[in-house]
Amino acid sequence: MARSILVVEDEPTLRETLVEALEADGFRVTAAGDGRAALERFRADHPDLVLLDLMLPEISGIDVCRIIRAESPVPIIMLTARGSEVDKVVGLELGADDYVTKPFSLRELSARIRAVFRRGEQANATASASVVDLGSVHVDLAGHQILRDGVEVKVKPKVFELLAFLIRHAGQVVTRDQLLELVWGYDYAGETRTVDVHVHWLRAAIEVDPAQPSLIQTIRGVGYVLRRP
């Protein structure tokens, strides 16, 4: 069955354009023009992905994102205003999977949507695979073991948990606050230095050149991303 997408956009022309383009791409599409309608449609339709404008009447895109994320792991792509770094960070902290900056081409948007779906499939495959291949490094998630060129590398338990989390979210940028909350279990912002220190130890364990990391990359101003080779 075709995958379904909920388009949330208050600007009618853009909304219609998005609906038509995504339908032409083979998706089943529903749409909402404000935050309140978005939540109603989301709960009624259970879409496979939500395309969410940040600036919305009734309930803001930020609140819609937070509410949906509390109810569901559905992929969310935020549509943000041009060059708004704050919006990107806020969106990712609220659990959006990606963001597209306006104005965007339909081709770019289509590529992002497919990438998010592909990551979901890879994450499912990774969740069922015990040993993950990162080039010269093999990680046995079930056995809590890292092998580098066949030799076991010992790391602190928290470092391994951090690696396992990044592997499960490979290709997805995660903020320091998200890592603190989801790996350390802190429910407040701050203490992000802890994350940086553990990333430093992790790089020393798995990167060919920890000073020029290729697996765990820093996204300046946002956080980290693990890129599989």
Give the chain's length. Answer: 229
Our CB check for Ca ion shows the closer of 79 and 159 to be 79
Main-chain dihedrals φ then ψ at residue 38, nearest 5 degrees: -60, -45
Round to whole Å and give the CA distance between 74 and 42: 10
The answer to whether the beta carbons of residues 8 and 61 sit under 8 Å apart is: yes
Q: Cβ closer to Ca ion: 55 or 59?
A: 55
Taking each helix axis as running N to C, give the angle between helix 35-45 and helix 61-71, from 0 to 180 degrees, rounded to the nearest 10: 20
Q: DSSP secondary structure string, 77-93?
A: EEEE-TT-HHHHHHHHH
Nearer to Ca ion, 33 or 75 (CB): 33
Minimum Å gap between C-beta 55 and Ca ion is 4
Smallest gap from Cβ 105 to Ca ion, in A, equals 18
Q: How far is CA 180 from CA 132, 139, 197, in A?
A: 23, 22, 12
Which residues, 146 to 175, sit near Ca ion by CB under 5 A? none
In the complex, the smallest distance separating the C-beta of residue 59 from Ca ion, rounded to whole angstroms, is: 12
10 binds Ca ion (CB under 5 A): yes
| Smallest separation (angstroms) from Ca ion to the CB of 137 | 44
| Contact map string, positions 33 to 62, toward Ca ion, x by CB under 5 A | --------------------x-x-------
Residues engaged in binding Ca ion (CB under 5 A): 10, 53, 55
